[in-house]
Structure 1
Amino acid sequence: MIVELDVHTHTIASGHAYSTIREMMKAASKKGLKLLGITEHARGIPGTCSDIYFENLKVVPREMYGVELMLGAEINILDYDGSLSLEDRIIDKLDIRIAGIHNHCYTPGTIEQNTNTVVQVIKKHKIDIISHPDDGSCPLDYDTIVRASKKYNTLLELNNNSINPINCRKNARENNINMLKLCKKYNVQIILSSDAHIDTDISRFDFSYGILNEADFPEKLVINSSVTDFKNKIKINRIQN
């Protein structure tokens, strides 16, 4: 599979990651990526950067070592209304907008409550990607989530860290296979993410490839093969808003 981009990664700014921006960009260059996204955790995760970090991203060059750089945030979903841990005025300035549920910031409810929460976030048209929607500790109705992602043009993530045995979110393998089968059924694109917290994990999709094969998922629905397709995809909601 051709992979041109990996857009969900973290540096030391997130508080529990271990490489700098330049170290990450060097690794991306060595691995042949055309685009790297660095998306630090937003407020709510212990040790991460404050809002002012995201407001000053304009000072960072958007190309290093021959690789394009997009900067953004992995924003926390806070409650059943789909509230987010960054204000819209900051979200609007980000190159990449990811939102996800983390147990530091969200108390899982019923499957109906959790599903409605994610759908409300998707409907905001502010978010490009829903991160690791595979955690069984926060159960979701994947049929509803997949149909919402298609309707509102939001990418669902296949997160390599979720199925890495050293992390391994609850029921992640089974949930990802279920999600992929529904994406295939409804012809919905997904995005692979390394969720790298150190430079050596950039563009690492080894566990994800196994899931893709198990689900017999078509490569044409994996957006990582084209920077142009990815940019066009996230541009749609920018234009609508």
Structure 2
Amino acid sequence: MKYVVDTHTHTISSGHAYNTLLENIKEASQNGIELIATTDHGPDMPGGPHKYYFANIKVLPREINGVTVLRGCEANIIDFQGNLDIPDKIQKNLDIIIASLHDVCIRPGSKEGNTKALIGAMENPYVDIIGHCGNPVFPIDEEKVVRAAKEKNVLIEINNSSLMKGGAREGSIKTCTRVAKLCKEYGVKIVIGSDAHSCFQVGRFDDAHKMLAEVGMPEELIINTQKDRILKYLKKKGKLADLKLD
């Protein structure tokens, strides 16, 4: 299976990543990635960019070196109602928003509280993806989250970095596998994100691919295999008005 989209990448603006946007795009083009979303952490992440960074991200070209660029954010969920750390007026002008729980931005809660936070974020019309929900630091009711994603038309991310040996969220494999199986059962679309904090991780999905193959995830539920899949999804949500599809 060929993957041509990476919806979760970070640059030096995130504060703890190591490459520039241009370096990420160069690596993407060499890896056969046709579309990259640049999704730096929201401002509540220690070392993260100011909210003005996201307000001004519209200055980035739509295409760089033959790679389509989506201007986005990995926003931090900051409470158990699912609110994010960037204002609505900025959210509505972004191409793509991942909503994620990070324990440096919100203290992990009960399974019920964490589940409520993710479902609350899904009720935000500007949220497109729920990021790395397999993190064992934030236990969730996986079935409730997946069923809510189906209802709200939100993509569930399978985060490659979470599955890597020595990766960012060790111990995620069990929950990620359960989430993937539920997405298959309920017909919920998923998206693989590299969560690259180095350009050398952009477009690399080996661990996520292995897990999804074991689960038997149908290709039609995986957004990454065709560029138009993510573009059509976002356009149906009222985004990407400047971008014409073939």
CA distance in 2, matches of 1:215, 1:53: 39
Structure 1 residue 4 displacement after superposition: 1.6
Deviations 1:199-237 (A, max 9, x none): 111111011112112212222211101111111112333
> Aligned AA for 1:119?
I
Counting only pairs closer than 5 Å after superposition, residues 79-228 of structure 1 correspond to structure 2 as 79-228=79-228
Deviations 1:18-56 (A, max 9, x none): 111111111111111110111010111111110111111
Instruction: Point out 4+ residue stretches in structure 1 off by more than 4 angstroms.
Output: none
CA distance in 1, matches of 2:121, 2:202: 27
Deviations 1:58-95 (A, max 9, x none): 22212111111111100000111111100110011111
Is the contact between residue 157 and residue 190 of structure 1 (CA under 8 Å) also seen in structure 2?
A: yes
Does 1:72 pair with 2:72? yes
> Aligned AA for 2:217?
F
Structure 1 residue 170 displacement after superposition: 4.5
CA distance in 2, matches of 1:139, 1:192: 20
Aligned to 1:14: 14
> Aligned AA for 2:32?
G
> Aligned AA for 1:108?
P
> Aligned AA for 1:111?
K
Structure 1 residue 238 displacement after superposition: 2.7
Is the contact between residue 136 and residue 175 of structure 1 (CA under 8 Å) also seen in structure 2?
A: yes
> Aligned AA for 2:160?
N
Is the contact between residue 153 and residue 233 of structure 1 (CA under 8 Å) also seen in structure 2?
A: no
CA distance in 2, matches of 1:169, 1:199: 19
CA RMSD, Structure 1 to Structure 2 (Å): 1.2
Is the contact between residue 163 and residue 170 of structure 2 (CA under 8 Å) also seen in structure 1?
A: no
Is the contact between residue 79 and residue 117 of structure 1 (CA under 8 Å) also seen in structure 2?
A: yes
Runs of 5+ consecutive residues of structure 2 not aligned to the other structure: 240-246
CA distance in 2, matches of 1:46, 1:130: 20
Is the contact between residue 74 and residue 100 of structure 1 (CA under 8 Å) also seen in structure 2?
A: yes
> Aligned AA for 1:178?
R
CA distance in 2, matches of 1:230, 1:7: 9
Is the contact between residue 153 and residue 237 of structure 1 (CA under 8 Å) also seen in structure 2?
A: no
CA distance in 1, matches of 2:238, 2:117: 22
Aligned to 2:243: none
CA distance in 2, matches of 1:107, 1:189: 29
Counting only pairs closer than 5 Å after superposition, residues 36-75 of structure 1 correspond to structure 2 as 36-75=36-75
Percent identity between the two aligned chains: 39
CA distance in 1, matches of 2:9, 2:191: 13
Structure 1 residue 168 displacement after superposition: 4.9
Is the contact between residue 36 and residue 67 of structure 1 (CA under 8 Å) also seen in structure 2?
A: yes
CA distance in 1, matches of 2:81, 2:224: 31
Change (3 A) 1:16 1:168: closer
> Aligned AA for 2:4?
E
